[in-house]
Amino acid sequence: MIQHTGAQIAFQPRVRKSGFFEAAWRYGCRNFSVYNRTYISGAFSDPIKEYWDVVENAVLWPVMGERQVELTGPDATRFVQYLTPRDISKCAVGQCKYAPITAPDGGMLSDPIILRLEEDRYWLSTSDWDLETWARGVSIHADMRVSIRDANVSVLQVQGPKSPIVMAEAFGQDVLDLKYYWLMRLPFETTSVVVSRTGWSGEFGYEIYLEDATFSDRLFDALMTVGDDIQLTPGAVNQVRRIESGILSAGVDFTPSETPFDIGLGRLVEFESGAEFIGRDALLLAAQTPLRKQLVGLTIEGPALSSNEDIWPLQASGEDVGRLTSLSYSPRLKKNIALGIVTANFACPGTRLDVSAWDGWRTAVVSALPFLPKQQTGDARSLIRDNGA
């Protein structure tokens, strides 16, 4: 198996640049990937250093590929409900919901965070999948009064236990009252930003949504300036930390071949409201059927491994029983950890499997998830006190 160390990605006009692209470049990012047809920043420095920064301090990540599909109009709520098994009647204005987007056969297409900005205005903060095109296609036959567009919002994440210090300095004390999975609009200079208590790190943190890209550089610099006292660093929300927390990457850790039940998200399929949504009948059947496959954690024995470029096969006694989807070496656990999908009879923690890794076959041991707990809930003011501010 060839590892493509030193590979580069070429910049070109058909791939979009977020408002924060130039700031990321100025602060040293030279590692990019493509996400939602947009350049997204990777590591700014040493990934292990960035791991400890987000676990112990705070990191500012220009998460440039995180696009906002905006749905507005008199039937916006009914249309959002049609896209997802989540009960949208339980989503208040100012609230966010993590939501599966399902196909007619119940398969997982995407897992955005839904932000309800106004009574009839939503953002679907989408993972790496063309949710805008899907929504437009669905709307053709939905007979609902809804407008759909890419809102062209640029997103920053401030993640880590010291993130409340940065946010309070930048936007005022009110942001400290923001509850987990809620949002508020806050002033910045002569514009405003939407801030949500969400993130992809498994750590306490916030996401900042900027609609006017002309303020991008000033916002980025302002956050770095107020974060100087706590050594806020630019970086990426670390792949290791999200695997430790069992946070999924769409298109990798699940595909349209998996239902929410297969990947541990059955709790998000809410039939009780009686609302109609795409895939309802298939998911009703899936809810009553024993699982055929299951998302699991895996520890890989042996020396530290670089992250996988491709899906790696998992075998038992020479027979394929699943796939390893995401892999990293955890500095805290001092072992290789991974996510994978296996047939249900091999999903019991402690089950030993074989995985085809960079250097040949290794032993993979099924583990319960998460490897380490998420630190996303709690009280922002208490965190500030704990961190000496």
Q: Residue ranges of the domains in the chain?
A: 21-64+153-242, 68-150, 248-367
The residue among 357 and 386 whose pLDDT is bigger is: 357
Q: Which residue has the tokens 């809102």?
A: 151
Q: What is the pLDDT of residue 6?
A: 81
The residue among 115 and 382 whose pLDDT is bigger is: 115
Q: What is the pLDDT of residue 389?
A: 55
Closest CA to 126 of 106, 155, 159: 155
Please state the CATH superfamily assignment of the domain spanning residues 68-150 in this structure.
Answer: Aminomethyltransferase beta-barrel domains (3.30.70.1400)
* Mean pLDDT in residue range 342-356: 98
Q: What is the pLDDT of residue 388?
A: 59
SS3 string, the chain, reads: CCCCCCCCCCCCCCCECCCCHHHHHHCCCCCEEEECCEEEECCCCCHHHHHHHHHHCCEEEECCCCEEEEEECCCHHHHHHHHCCCCHHHCCCCEEEECCEECCCCCEEECCEEEEEECCEEEEEECCCCHHHHHHHHHHHHCCCCEEEECCCEEEEEECCCHHHHHHHHHCHHHHHCCCCEEEEEEECCEEEEEECCCCCCCCEEEEEECCHHHHHHHHHHHHHHCHHHCCEECCCCHHHHHHCCCCCECCCECCCCCCCCCCCHHHCCCCCCCCCCCHHHHHHHHCCCCCEEEEEEEECCCCCCCCCCCEEEEECCEEEEEEEEEEEECCCCEEEEEEEEEHHHCCCCCEEEEEECCEEEEEEEECCCCCCCCCCCCHHHHHHHCCC
Confidence band, pLDDT 50/70/90 cuts, at residue 9: confident
Confidence band, pLDDT 50/70/90 cuts, at residue 5: confident
The dotted CATH code for 21-64+153-242 is 3.30.1360.120
Q: Which tens digit of pLDDT belongs to each residue from 321-332?
A: 999 999 999 999
Q: What is the pLDDT of residue 377?
A: 81
* Mean pLDDT in residue range 347-367: 97
Please check whether the domain covering 248-367 is classified as CATH 2.60.120.260. no
Q: What is the pLDDT of residue 271?
A: 96
Q: What is the mean pLDDT of the chain?
A: 95
* b (16+ CB within 10 A) / e for 225-262: ebbeebebbbbbbbbbbbbbbbbbbbbebbbeebbbbb
Q: What is the pLDDT of residue 306?
A: 94
Q: What is the pLDDT of residue 96?
A: 98
* Mean pLDDT in residue range 98-116: 98
Say how far apart CA 292 and CA 81 lie, in whole Å.
28
Say how far apart CA 112 and CA 173 lie, in whole Å.
28
- Assess whether pLDDT exceeds 90 at residue 24: yes
Is 41 within 8 Å of 236 (Cβ atoms)? yes
Q: What is the pLDDT of residue 166?
A: 97
* Mean pLDDT in residue range 65-82: 97
Is 361 within 8 Å of 318 (Cβ atoms)? no
- Assess whether pLDDT exceeds 90 at residue 8: no
* Mean pLDDT in residue range 171-187: 97
Q: What is the pLDDT of residue 2?
A: 83
Residues 6+ apart with CB under 8 A from 139: 79, 146, 148
Share of the chain above pLDDT 90, in %: 90
* Mean pLDDT in residue range 60-80: 96
Q: Which residues pair with 252 in a beta bridge?
A: none
Is 83 within 8 Å of 71 (Cβ atoms)? no
Closest CA to 43 of 20, 57, 24, 19: 24
Q: What is the pLDDT of residue 12?
A: 93
Q: Which tens digit of pLDDT belongs to each residue from 241-296?
A: 999 999 999 999 999 999 999 999 999 999 998 999 999 999 999 999 999 999 99
Confidence band, pLDDT 50/70/90 cuts, at residue 383: confident
